[in-house]
């Protein structure tokens, strides 16, 4: 018997939980994880070269977010560096005086000005540090907001197919880290600037004391810089590889706590099951963190050892210089302070550069996303589409979803005449919803054309195509908003249009639902929020129908009124009376000039459509009115037989021995 993978784990290193729940390792196998050490080194220079560009992006965002705060922070940091340098010069002067006047009566008076200057410089530095931190605290949320808005704005414009693409998803996820990183990058770059200025001052003092001391300070810094960069790169590679794992863990955590899964979690015992696998996945992440910690410690030890050797060499050299008379004792004292300050600066600088390096990598993703999202965005503008074409012509259209090998639509040709109810029927997975999505402009055909009268939609203005369409999908998204906001989606001018809202409610049979709500249209359809409620499946479909009506009967901001209504199983949750009414409503919409594309498995409903297209395995296999399909001879339209068989199968469910209708009491209680 084949061994169960979810008990044993898999050869690809995925945990049993990953195998069972997700069918494989939830890690991205980018080249970056195959030879981490090599890539950490090789990519170093590439990233270092990219840093200026990323800094420019961070500073541009900061400038856009709050230029006054940015200028304030920069000035405060420059001031702090100046104060630090001044303080060192004052210490040098004080030591000089101390050594020259040691034991003499005027020593204190001679030293006092320098000591006061050092104190004043330190005080000014402290005040400027407060100013800088106030400025960056003000700047951070604004930068984050600006970056978030920019990211969301771009993400909501990309093609739907790109949004489903795993590579783009990973980029989107890592760009979210980038948002957190932008303001940290700004802060760290300010810190680097300030430390560099301070180091320049310290270096200047050291150089003036003895030029050989300066290279030694650089030697102290170099190994730690290397260590910091390697660690940052390693951490980043790990985050990138484990991003999907993190998303999967978060998904499990969400599933455990959201209301839509609450019933199954309790009744089917899914809670304990998911919790177990959540823990297993967390353990896998822990192991990765432990690996990183060990590798980081090893790198740190190597860097610290090299840096320590440079430290020892520096102090040894100082001893040699003093003992050989090349350096005065006072100058040696200042050099000790300067080396210690310099080393502290180096530590600060390294921690900032380390952060900067790491943040820059994420900001790089944000930048890549901005470029990619722009390239994948639904193009703006294009040929004008007729507001109400006579027909939509689908010619030889094929379409395959990304990651699939078999086409979901295969050379489909059909005509959707305006003002008619056109039913798309066929087995599960036949391609009905896919065709509808192509007709709306959500996906583009891989080959073939979709024309509105003579205009090819491939080059048409997609905004116009969307503005001409209304969606009433099978899985109508349960927007967690007020009923008013849901029903007036895309119609901001009608939020307070009582007449339009009442008409929509009447059309959809929503009046009873509204009457039961204390807050009427302002009822929040989000259980779990204060005052929020939830609705039944059928009630949600009525809400969807009301929105469809309001959108169809009003014009958008561009003045267009939709004519194409895509109703994908719009009545699956309705009670029988509401279902009959819903199909009448679709007929009413068609009567008002709309084209209703009805996707349904209820063949009693499609029977009254003006035209029926039967799809099978992505191909159009039969077409005609209900009567034509029922009457078609097998040699004319062989596949019409499958429609006829399906229709009769459904009809039979009702045809067996119907009882006589019971007498119904009228309002006065007498029987009719
Ligand atoms: N987003 C997607 N990515 C990949 N494949 C998809 C996607 N959506 C649908 N498919 C696949 O395309 C084929 C057609 O699906 P489609 O949803 O169009 O069928 P349908 O006729 O509407 O089915 P149903 O009656 O079950 O709603 C199916 O094989 C389905 O698995």
Complex ipTM: 0.98
**Region 298-309: what's the mean pLDDT?**
89
38 has pLDDT over 60: no
At 268, the pLDDT band (50, 70, 90 cuts) reads: confident
For residue 436, the ligand 1 atom closest to its alpha carbon is: 18
415 has pLDDT over 80: yes
By the 8 A CB rule, do 203 and 214 touch? yes
434 alpha carbon – ligand 1 mean position (Å):
6
Q: Which of residues 296 and 641 earns the better pLDDT score?
A: 296
**Ramachandran class of 465: left when φ > 0, alpha when ψ lies in -120 to 50, beta otherwise:** alpha
By the 8 A CB rule, do 608 and 583 touch? yes
395 has pLDDT over 80: yes
pLDDT for position 34: 37
pLDDT for position 616: 92
224 alpha carbon – ligand 1 mean position (Å):
55
**Region 492-521: what's the mean pLDDT?**
91
By the 8 A CB rule, do 87 and 121 touch? yes
d(CA 352, CA 187): 9
41 has pLDDT over 60: no
429 alpha carbon – ligand 1 mean position (Å):
5
Strand, helix or coil for residue 398:
strand
509 has pLDDT over 80: yes
Mutate to test the pocket of ligand 1, among 397, 406, 408, 569 (most ligand atoms within 8 A of CB): 408
With a Cβ cut-off of 6 Å, ligand 1 is lined by 164, 401, 404, 408, 426, 428-434
By the 8 A CB rule, do 512 and 550 touch? no
Q: Which of 7-16, 51-60, 531-540 has the lowest mean pLDDT?
A: 7-16
Tokens standing for 22? 């997700």
Q: Which of residues 198 and 168 earns the better pLDDT score?
A: 168
**Pair type for strands 447-452 and 391-399:** antiparallel
Catalogue all structural domains in the chain, each as residue range(s) with its CATH number. 13-376 (1.20.1560.10), 383-468+563-653 (3.40.50.300), 480-560 (no CATH)
483 has pLDDT over 90: yes
Mutate to test the pocket of ligand 1, among 169, 427, 429, 436 (most ligand atoms within 8 A of CB): 429
Report which DSSP code applies to 416.
E
Phi, psi of 562 (to 5 degrees): -65, 150
Mutate to test the pocket of ligand 1, among 159, 427, 433 (most ligand atoms within 8 A of CB): 433
Q: Which of 307-321, 366-380, 383-397 has the highest mean pLDDT?
A: 383-397
Q: Whose CA is nearest to atom 3 of ligand 1?
A: 401
Beta-bridged to residue 579, according to DSSP, are none
d(CA 122, CA 526): 56
pLDDT for position 447: 96
pLDDT for position 498: 92
At 463, the pLDDT band (50, 70, 90 cuts) reads: very high
* Tokens 């209703």, located at residue: 596
At 469, the pLDDT band (50, 70, 90 cuts) reads: very high
Q: Whose CA is nearest to atom 19 of ligand 1?
A: 429
**Region 527-554: what's the mean pLDDT?**
88
Tokens standing for 288? 């990765």
449 has pLDDT over 90: yes
Beta-bridged to residue 612, according to DSSP, are 423, 624
389 alpha carbon – ligand 1 mean position (Å):
28
Phi, psi of 258 (to 5 degrees): -90, 155
d(CA 54, CA 67): 18
d(CA 538, CA 543): 9
* Tokens 């307070």, located at residue: 496
Q: Whose CA is nearest to atom 6 of ligand 1?
A: 401
For residue 615, the ligand 1 atom closest to its alpha carbon is: 21
Q: Whose CA is nearest to atom 17 of ligand 1?
A: 433
At 421, the pLDDT band (50, 70, 90 cuts) reads: very high
408 alpha carbon – ligand 1 mean position (Å):
7
Phi, psi of 448 (to 5 degrees): 85, 175
Q: Tell me what the pLDDT averaged over the chain comes to.
A: 82
Beta-bridged to residue 620, according to DSSP, are 615
pLDDT for position 13: 61
33 has pLDDT over 60: no
pLDDT for position 360: 74
404 alpha carbon – ligand 1 mean position (Å):
11
d(CA 429, CA 432): 8
Sheet holding 619-624, edge to edge: 469-472, 564-568, 595-599, 421-426, 611-616, 619-624
By the 8 A CB rule, do 508 and 543 touch? yes
Tell me the pLDDT tens digit for each residue of 43-102: 556 656 766 777 787 788 788 888 898 899 888 888 887 887 788 778 777 877 777 766
For residue 437, the ligand 1 atom closest to its alpha carbon is: 18
d(CA 414, CA 146): 46
d(CA 634, CA 501): 49
Q: How far is CA 493 from CA 78, 130, 470, 489, in A?
A: 51, 48, 17, 10
Mutate to test the pocket of ligand 1, among 399, 400, 401 (most ligand atoms within 8 A of CB): 401
User: Which positions ≥6 away from 299 have C-beta within 8 Å?
Assistant: 227, 230, 231, 234
Which residue in 481, 506, 655 sits closest to 584, CA to CA?
A: 506
626 alpha carbon – ligand 1 mean position (Å):
25
pLDDT for position 625: 92
Mutate to test the pocket of ligand 1, among 432, 603, 616 (most ligand atoms within 8 A of CB): 432
Q: Whose CA is nearest to atom 4 of ligand 1?
A: 401
pLDDT for position 175: 82
End-to-end CA, the chain = 68
Q: Which of residues 365 and 452 earns the better pLDDT score?
A: 452
High-pLDDT (> 70) share of the chain, %: 88
d(CA 607, CA 587): 12
Tell me the pLDDT tens digit for each residue of 586-627: 888 888 889 999 998 888 888 889 999 999 999 999 999 998
118 has pLDDT over 90: no
């Amino acid at each position: 018997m084949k061994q169960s993978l979810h008990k044993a784990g898999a050869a690809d290193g995925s945990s049993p939980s990953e195998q069972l729940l997700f069918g494989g390792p939830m890690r991205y196998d980018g080249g970056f994880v195959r030879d981490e050490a090599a890539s950490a080194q090789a990519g170093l220079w590439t990233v270092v070269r990219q840093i200026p560009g990323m800094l420019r992006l961070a500073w541009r965002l900061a400038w856009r977010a709050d230029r006054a705060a940015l200028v304030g922070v920069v000035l405060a940091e420059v001031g702090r560096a100046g104060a630090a340098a001044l303080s060192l010069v004052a210490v040098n002067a004080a030591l000089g005086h101390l050594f020259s006047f040691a034991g003499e009566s005027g020593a204190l008076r001679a030293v006092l000005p320098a000591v006061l200057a050092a104190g004043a410089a330190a005080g000014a530095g402290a005040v400027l540090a407060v100013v800088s931190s106030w400025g960056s605290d003000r700047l951070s949320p604004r930068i984050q907001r600006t970056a978030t808005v920019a990211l969301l704005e771009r993400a909501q414009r990309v093609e739907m197919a790109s949004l489903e693409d795993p590579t783009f998803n990973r980029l989107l996820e890592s760009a979210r880290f980038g948002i957190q990183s932008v303001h940290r990058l700004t802060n760290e770059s300010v810190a680097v600037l300030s430390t560099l200025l301070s180091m320049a001052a310290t270096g200047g003092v050291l150089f003036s004391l003895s030029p050989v001391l300066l290279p030694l300070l650089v030697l102290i810094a170099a190994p730690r810089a290397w260590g910091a960069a390697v660690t940052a790169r390693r951490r980043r590679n790990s985050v990138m590889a484990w991003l999907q794992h993190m998303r999967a863990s978060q998904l499990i955590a969400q599933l455990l706590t959201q209301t839509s899964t609450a019933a199954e979690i309790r009744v089917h015992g899914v809670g304990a099951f998911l919790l177990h696998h959540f823990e297993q996945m967390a353990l896998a992440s822990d192991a990765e963190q432990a690996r990183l910690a060990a590798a980081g410690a090893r790198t740190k030890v190597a860097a610290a050892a090299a840096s320590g050797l440079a430290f020892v060499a520096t102090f040894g050299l100082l001893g040699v210089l003093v003992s050989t008379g090349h350096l005065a004792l006072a100058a040696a004292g200042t050099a000790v302070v300067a080396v210690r300050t310099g080393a502290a600066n180096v530590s600060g600088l390294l921690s900032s550069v380390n952060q900067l390096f790491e943040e820059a990598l994420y900001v790089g993703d944000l930048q890549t996303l901005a470029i990619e999202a722009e390239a994948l965005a639904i193009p703006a503008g294009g040929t004008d589409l007729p507001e109400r074409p006579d027909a939509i012509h689908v010619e030889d259209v094929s379409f395959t979803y990304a990651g699939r090998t078999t086409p979901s639509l295969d050379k489909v040709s059909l005509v959707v005449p305006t003002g008619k109810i056109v039913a798309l029927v066929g087995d599960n997975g036949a391609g009905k919803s896919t065709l509808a999505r192509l007709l709306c402009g959500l996906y583009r055909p891989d080959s073939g054309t979709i024309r509105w009268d003579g205009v090819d939609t491939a080059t048409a203005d997609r905004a116009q195509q969307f503005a001409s369409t209304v969606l009433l999908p099978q899985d109508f998204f349960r927007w967690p908003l007020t009923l008013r906001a849901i029903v007036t989606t895309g119609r901001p001018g009608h939020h307070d249009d009582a007449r339009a809202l009442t008409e929509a409610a009447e059309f959809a049979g929503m009046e009873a639902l509204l009457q039961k709500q204390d807050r009427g249209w302002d009822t929040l359809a989000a259980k779990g929020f204060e005052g929020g409620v939830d609705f039944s499946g059928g009630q949600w479909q009525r809400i969807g129908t009301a929105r469809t009506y309001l959108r169809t009967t009003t014009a958008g901001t561009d003045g267009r009124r939709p004519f194409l209504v895509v109703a994908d199983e719009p009545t699956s949750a309705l009670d029988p009376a509401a279902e009959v009414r819903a199909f009448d409503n679709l007929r009413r919409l068609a009567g008002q000039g709309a084209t209703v594309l009805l996707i349904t498995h209820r063949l009693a409903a499609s029977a009254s459509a003006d035209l029926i297209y039967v799809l099978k395995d992505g191909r159009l296999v039969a077409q005609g009115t209900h009567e034509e399909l029922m009457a078609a001879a097998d040699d004319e339209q062989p596949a019409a037989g499958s429609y006829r068989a399906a229709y009769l199968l459904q009809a039979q469910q009702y045809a067996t021995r119907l009882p006589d209708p019971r007498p119904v009491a009228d309002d006065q209680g007498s029987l009719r």
